[in-house]
Structure 1
Amino acid sequence: MELIIQDVVKKFDDKASLDEASFQFEKGKIYGLLGRNGAGKTTLFNCISKDLSIDSGTIQLKEDMIEHDFSDLEVGLVHATPTVPDFMTGYEFIKFFIDMNKEKMLNVRTPDEYLAKVGIKKEDRHRLLKDYSHGMKNKVQMIATMMVQPPVLLLDEPLTSFDVVAAHEMKELILSIKKDSVVIFSTHILQLAQDLCDEIVVLHNGKLTGFDPSKIHTNSFEADIVSLLSDEVSDKQEVVAEVLGESNDE
């Protein structure tokens, strides 16, 4: 299975966030999406998930050599800012999610098992989600999305709010799902991209460009990425600050 993005254009007030962007993402690989602040990474995710319509081009799945449209139900999107119902407990939310999706889930487990998988302690599972920390909400959102094993999984700045142990647990979870899904995550943490990614895709000036996989684990990786994201030599210091510093909303 492949996710095929072909000549996609998305404009806001005549400014192209995506400008004939094209790329083919394959099942069984984890792709890191890198770009400057405001480059359009979140916009791309919202177009793939159909939360935003595109102005032109196509976004399709390819299975058995046939390209076809897909529904938003086939895409799992984990937002950088958790979107969970504050009026439910963690346990209630996961149980509700199971009840709504169990027909398409394989090896359905109990809410406690899912919550334990992402390190939510027993004493926290029956607390209201509004009282959860940002990191805890992120864990609940991520496991809810991943337990249905969507064909396409999009992770917008994952792991940034997790401690070292939780981040390791979530890395293992992401690795476990890649066999059956197209997995793309955006990040500004280059070390995370090196640790997890099979391939790197750069979004710059509205275009998607593949990065040589053989260079991901080399000493020149950071410099190569900065070079790709820089329009001019004088621009490189600003790029380094953006890529290695705090990420802003797009």
Structure 2
Amino acid sequence: MNLQLFEIKKSFGNKKVLRDCSFTFEKGKIYGLLGRNGAGKTTLFNCLTDEVAPDSGKAEICEANGNCHALMADEVGYVFSTPILPDFLTGYEFIKFFMDINERKIDPHKTIDDYFDMVKINAEDRHRLIKGYSHGMKNKVQMLCFMIVRPPVILLDEPLTSFDVVVALEIKQLLREIKHDHIIIFSTHILQLATDLCDEIVVLSDGRLQQIDHTMLQSKDFEAQIIELLKDEAAYD
């Protein structure tokens, strides 16, 4: 299974944020989407989830048998950099509600507590109001949502920057364990995080996507080459 992007373009007024985003993302890999702050990474994610309509272009899911169809919103799990959750519910209440409305998609053999165990949220915290959760805990709850419905495409917009060292390592390991069943695109502006977690690096520069030769990752000049590629990038609001 592949996610194929064809000439996705998006402008805001006179600012051309996405000029021509064409790329093929493969199932079973974690892709690091690398770019400077304001390069358009979140805009691209929003176009893929129907949060923002692209000016032109399209995204398709293509199966191994060659059949392709337009990417649908319910085929994408999106972990926002700023979590959007109902603060008036407890974590347990929200996950139960989420499982109830997605009953047809869930694994019937897993319980709510099984999912909380996967992201290591303590038993006492599960019954606290989300309003009192830390930013990192809220991001964990976001991640639970895509782990429950198992969408083919998972987009992560800077989610690890809010975690402490131990939790970040746990989430990295979790992503490595589930990547074989998904297309995972991890947006970040932190080079070390991308090279540590991701199988492939894709740079968003000047509104276009460019894959970095995998052999470059072990090169002593890798960082210098990335800086050269991005240094003239104009940031967009």
TM score, norm. by length of structure 2: 0.94
Tell me how far 1:51 sits from its aligned partner.
1.1
Q: Which runs of 5+ in 1 are unaligned?
A: 243-248
What count of residue pairs does the alignment treat as equivalent?
A: 236
The residue number in structure 2 matching 1:131 is: 132
CA distance in structure 2 between the aligned counterparts of 1:107 and 1:201, rounded to whole angstroms: 36
Three-state SS of the structure 2 residue aligned to 1:104 is coil
Q: Matched residues in 2 for 1:217 and 1:173: separation? A: 24
Find the counterpart in structure 1 of residue 168 from structure 2: 167
Q: Is the contact between residue 200 and residue 211 of structure 1 (CA under 8 Å) also seen in structure 2?
A: yes
C-alpha displacement at 1:107, in angstroms?
Answer: 5.2
Residue aligned with 1:88, SS:
coil
In the alignment, residue 37 of structure 2 is paired with which amino acid?
A: N
Residue 23 of structure 1 and its aligned partner are, at CA, apart by 0.7
Match of 1:141 in 2: 142
Deviation at 1:66, TM superposition (A): 2.3
Is 41-50 or 208-217 further displaced after alignment?
208-217
In structure 2, the residue matched to 1:246 is none
Alignment partners' CA distance in 1, 2:217 and 2:102: 37
Question: In the alignment, residue 32 of structure 2 is paired with which amino acid?
Answer: G
Q: CA deviation at 1:105?
A: 2.1
Secondary structure of 1:203 counterpart: strand
Shift of 1:184: 0.1
Q: CA RMSD in A?
A: 1.8
2:16 match: secondary structure: strand
Corresponding position of 2:25: 25
Q: Is it true that 1:13 corresponds to 2:13 in the alignment?
A: yes
Task: Report the Cα distance in structure 1 between the residues aligned to 2:2 and 2:128, rounded to whole angstroms.
Answer: 40
Measured in 2, the distance between the counterparts of 1:97 and 1:219 equals 46
> For residues 83 and 26 of structure 1, what CA distance do their matches in structure 2 show?
28
The answer on whether the counterparts of 1:33 and 1:203 sit within 8 Å (CA) in structure 2 is yes
Cα deviation digits, residues 170-217 of structure 1 (max 9, x gap): 111111221111100111222221111111000011111110111123
Shift of residue 108, structure 1, vs aligned partner: 4.1
Matches within 5 A, 1:68-217: 68-106=69-107, 108-217=109-218
Identity, % of aligned pairs? 56
Q: What residue number does 1:45 align with?
A: 45
Deviation digits for residues 119-172 of structure 1 (CA, Å, limit 9, x no counterpart): 211111111000111111111111222222111000000211111111111111
- Post-superposition CA distance 1:16-52 (Å, at most 9, x none): 1100111111111110001111110000000011111
Runs of 4+ in 1 over 4 A off after TM superposition: none
1:149 touches 1:177 (CA, 8 Å); kept in 2? no
Cα separation, 1, equivalents of 2:108 and 2:209? 36
Contact 1:33 / 1:184 at 8 angstroms: preserved in 2?
yes
